[in-house]
């Protein structure tokens, strides 16, 4: 595969499979190693349109690596990742970067807002990087902060906000480009129970309203319970036995 | 749980009769075992003898006469003391999952025990999803949210135990199940 060719479609228009039937995102037998240490040892998983999937497993199981491969941040050593019929895993870095900007939103455990910018400026950032004019970007950012219940903090810097408010602003930033898939890596890991509940319930509500698929990475069953389905990763493999499907 | 104190708590806001108290209890404490009418009336009689409640009027609408009770000052003081008392943490809660897994190991093998524990784990997570939907629905009353929080915390504790039990049995007896191509 030419890594710099446009992302090819595996399902040309007019094919037998309709968009509604096809998973938004799928991984087939993906393998990834950090040096000589295998992290994923042949993982296959599918995410449907508007589906909320919780990927669970203990620390070091490979669940975050799986998310990074699904999101096109990492290129698997073997296997395919496909988004809406397009092969992501063999695309060039610039193509995957463009895909992440337009179709994927990523939310990490510690928000990772830019401390020098206000909440609205942080949320507007992905739009500004995509060429949207500042005024329109700030307006859209404020709307998304409102959807996550933190519009009152639009002019606040992250240091002036609570952990839960920062994380909701970070979720707004991940959603501002209206992605098809939101990836959330331990989104409540740094929060107390009630702040975590607010973040999760807002993410689920907004995702349901916008038919966004969500991939939640978590080791916490109470977070996994927000998902429609659980995929358990252990030792770099899907543990079918543990998710109840293989039983 | 002290049924008497629960009924006194429901009387704290104003007088009610036994039928009303039973309905209020069952509506407010979702998931709790519904009170039997006989239990309600026997408890009211006992509370009245202790001087914690008193009959204030007989309601005569359609149907049988209904005695309306209200909390006395002595009842209010006893209720306040009870609310402040710590419930003793139970050191050994009943664990039917451990019992069943142990029996599965006795009558079968590690696979039988693992199969049971995996199914139990999936059932627990399904139930946790239901409670999560309830507690995050903005229309859910606070009493139900609190009950859902409690249920989720207990299910989470069970899930942690189920994970550990599965790990112990899996580590001792056989390697991880291999993955197939499609899990959906």
Per the prediction, chain B carries an average pLDDT of 85
- The model's pLDDT over B69-112, given as tens digits with 9 standing for 90+, comes to 999 999 999 988 888 888 777 666 678 888 888 888 877 788 88
- The model's pLDDT over B103-154, given as tens digits with 9 standing for 90+, comes to 888 777 888 888 889 899 999 999 999 999 999 999 999 988 999 999 999 9
Q: What is the number of other CB atoms lying within 10 angstroms of the CB of residue A82?
A: 21
At the second CATH level, the architecture of B3-84 is Orthogonal Bundle (1.10)
A-B Cβ pairs (cutoff 8 Å, strict):
82
Test B179 with A46 for CB contact under 8 angstroms: no
Test B152 with A222 for CB contact under 8 angstroms: yes
The residue among A77 and B169 whose pLDDT is bigger is A77
String of DSSP letters for A156-167 = --GGGS-HHHHH
Spell out which residues of chain B touch residue A238, defining contact as CB-CB under 8 Å.
Answer: 179, 183
Return the residue of A nearest to B125 by Cα. A225
Q: Which of A35-39, A233-237, A242-246, B29-33 has the lowest mean pLDDT?
A: A242-246
pLDDT at position A19 is 55
String of DSSP letters for B49-105 = HHTSEEEEEEE-SSSS-EEEEEE-HHHHHHHHHHHHSPPPPPSS---HHHHHHHHHH
| The two structure tokens encoding residue A107 | 């939310």
Q: Output DSSP code: residue A52.
A: E
Spell out which residues of chain B touch residue A244, defining contact as CB-CB under 8 Å.
Answer: 118-119, 121-123, 125
pLDDT at position B173 is 60
Which pairs from B109-115 meet CB under 8 Å and 24+ separation? B109/B173, B110/B169, B110/B170, B110/B172, B110/B173, B110/B174, B111/B173, B111/B174, B113/B169, B114/A241, B114/B166, B114/B169, B114/B170, B114/B173, B115/A247
pLDDT at position B101 is 85
The pTM of the full predicted model, rounded to 2 decimals, is 0.74
Q: Where residue B171 falls among pLDDT bands split at 50, 70, 90?
A: confident
* Closest listed residue to residue B118, CA positions, set B169, B81, B157: B169
**ipTM score of the complex?**
0.74
Q: How far does A16 lie from chain B, in Å, by closest CA?
A: 20
For A234, the closest of B121, B152, B176 (CB atoms) is B176
């Amino acid at each position: 595969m030419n890594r710099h060719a446009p992302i090819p479609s595996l399902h040309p228009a007019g094919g037998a499979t309709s968009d509604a039937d096809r998973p938004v995102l799928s991984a087939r037998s993906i393998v990834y190693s950090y040096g000589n240490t295998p992290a994923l040892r042949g993982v296959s998983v599918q995410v449907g349109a508007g589906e909320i999937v919780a990927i669970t497993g203990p620390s070091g199981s490979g669940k975050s690596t799986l998310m990074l491969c699904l999101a096109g941040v990492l290129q698997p050593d073997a296997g395919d990742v496909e988004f809406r019929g397009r092969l992501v895993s063999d695309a060039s870095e610039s193509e995957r970067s463009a895909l992440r900007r337009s179709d994927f939103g990523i939310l990490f455990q510690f928000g990772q807002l830019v401390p020098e910018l206000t909440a609205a400026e942080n949320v507007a950032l992905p739009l500004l990087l995509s060429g949207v004019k500042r005024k329109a970007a700030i307006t859209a950012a404020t709307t998304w902060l409102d959807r996550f219940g933190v519009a009152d903090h639009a002019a606040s810097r992250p240091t002036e906000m609570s952990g839960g408010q920062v994380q909701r602003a970070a979720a707004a930033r991940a959603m501002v480009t209206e992605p098809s898939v939101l990836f959330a890596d331990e989104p409540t890991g740094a929060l107390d129970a009630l702040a975590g509940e607010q973040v999760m319930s807002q993410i689920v509500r907004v995702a349901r309203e916008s038919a966004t698929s969500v991939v939640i990475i978590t080791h916490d069953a109470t977070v996994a319970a927000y998902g429609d389905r659980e995929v358990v990763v252990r030792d770099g493999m899907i543990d079918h036995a543990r998710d109840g499907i293989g039983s | 749980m002290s049924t008497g104190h629960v009924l006194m708590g429901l009387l704290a806001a104003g007088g009610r009769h036994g039928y009303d108290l039973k309905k209020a209890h069952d509506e407010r404490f979702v998931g709790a075992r519904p009170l039997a009418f006989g239990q309600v009336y026997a408890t009211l009689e006992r509370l009245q003898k202790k001087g914690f409640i008193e009959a204030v009027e007989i309601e005569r609408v359609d149907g049988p006469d209904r005695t309306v009770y209200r909390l006395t000052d002595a009842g209010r003081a006893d209720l306040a003391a009870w609310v402040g008392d710590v419930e003793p943490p139970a050191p050994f809660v009943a664990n039917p999952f451990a019992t069943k897994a142990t029996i599965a190991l006795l009558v079968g093998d590690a696979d039988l025990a693992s199969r049971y524990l995996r199914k139990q784990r999936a059932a627990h997570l399904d139930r946790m999803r239901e409670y999560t939907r309830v507690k995050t629905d903005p229309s859910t009353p606070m009493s139900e949210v609190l009950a859902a929080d409690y249920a989720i915390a207990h299910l989470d504790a069970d899930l942690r135990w189920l994970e550990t039990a599965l790990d112990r049995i899996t580590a001792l007896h056989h390697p991880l199940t291999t993955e197939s191509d499609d899990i959906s």
